[in-house]
Amino acid sequence: MSPPEGRRAAVASPTLAFMTRFAAITQPLIGIIGLTMVTLGLLFWTGNALTLIPLHMLLGLLLVLILWSLAVVGAVAGVNPVHVGVTALWGFLMPVLGLAQGALLPGDAHPVIQVLHLLVGLAGIALAGSLAARIRRRGDRHGEIG
Ligand code: HEM
């Protein structure tokens, strides 16, 4: 038997508030990490700052953790399962490509892998940002109801 409406809202509220706050905290983080990753990547592309590759990889790992956390929170919040699933999958795809890319298509065709790596990275940032926005919208909507 489901609890009365008021009680359900009281039970759900702290969880919703946590999810909304989590999404609100990750949103600017995703932007900062994304901008740093792209800037570092473009520097590497032009043969600069190669000593910062470990930092780039560490930030990539952080981004993966954010993607997976948002996927879990998004699933609990009832966000579109396709969006949640693709975001979780991207958390695997992005680091796998990032770690393997040095060995992929060596030679003249390597720029194809580099562009692919950039596009997969940008898509990961976009997925994370839009999922965080969706979680916040859900939290705000339910917050209004009570
Ligand atoms: C877990 C995630 C990631 C890992 C492990 C990773 C790893 C790497 C590594 C090792 C390089 C140096 C490749 C080389 O010079 O041989 C690189 C370069 C680069 N990364 Fe990432 N990266 C990740 C995510 C991202 C993201 C999210 C973006 C941007 C949105 C990005 C953009 C770039 C760009 C533009 C380059 C330079 C071009 C290239 O070498 O492909 N990376 N990355």
**3-state SS class at 108:** coil
Query: Encoding tokens for residue 4?
Result: 């009365």
Q: What is the pTM of this model?
A: 0.88
- Going by pLDDT thresholds of 50, 70 and 90, the confidence category of residue 12 is low
Nearest to 73 by CA among 122, 22, 34, 121: 22
Q: Whose CA is nearest to atom 20 of ligand 1?
A: 41
- Going by pLDDT thresholds of 50, 70 and 90, the confidence category of residue 11 is very low
Taking the centre of ligand 1 as the mean of its atom positions, its distance from the CA of residue 99, in whole angstroms, is 8
101 in Cβ contact with 114 (< 8 Å) = yes
86 in Cβ contact with 74 (< 8 Å) = no
Query: Encoding tokens for residue 83?
Result: 């969006």
Q: Whose CA is nearest to atom 4 of ligand 1?
A: 98
- Residue 110 CA to residue 104 CA, distance in Å, equals 7
